[in-house]
Homo-oligomer: A and B are copies of this chain.
Amino acid sequence: MFKLNKMTDYAVVMMADMARMTDDMRTAPQLAEATGVPLPTVSKLLKNLANAGLMQSQRGASGGYSLSRAPEDISVAEIIAAVEGPIALTACVDGSPDQCGVETICAMRGNWDKVNRAVRGALEQVTLADMMVSAFEFGIPAPAERAGAAS
Contact = CB atoms under 8 A, between A and B. Distances in A.
Interface string A127-151: 0001110110010100110111110
A62 interface: no
A118 interface: yes
B114 A134 contact: yes
B131 A144 contact: no
Please report whether the interface of chain A is mostly helix, strand, loop or mixed according to DSSP: loop
Q: How many monomers of this chain does the complex have? A: 2
A50 interface: no
Contacts of A5: 1
Contacts of A118: 122-123, 125-126, 143-144, 147
Contacts of A2: 4, 80, 84-85, 87-89, 119
Interface of A: 1-6, 9-10, 13, 16-17, 20, 34-37, 76, 80, 84-85, 87-92, 95, 97-112, 114-115, 117-119, 121-123, 125-126, 130-132, 134-135, 138, 140, 143-144, 146-150
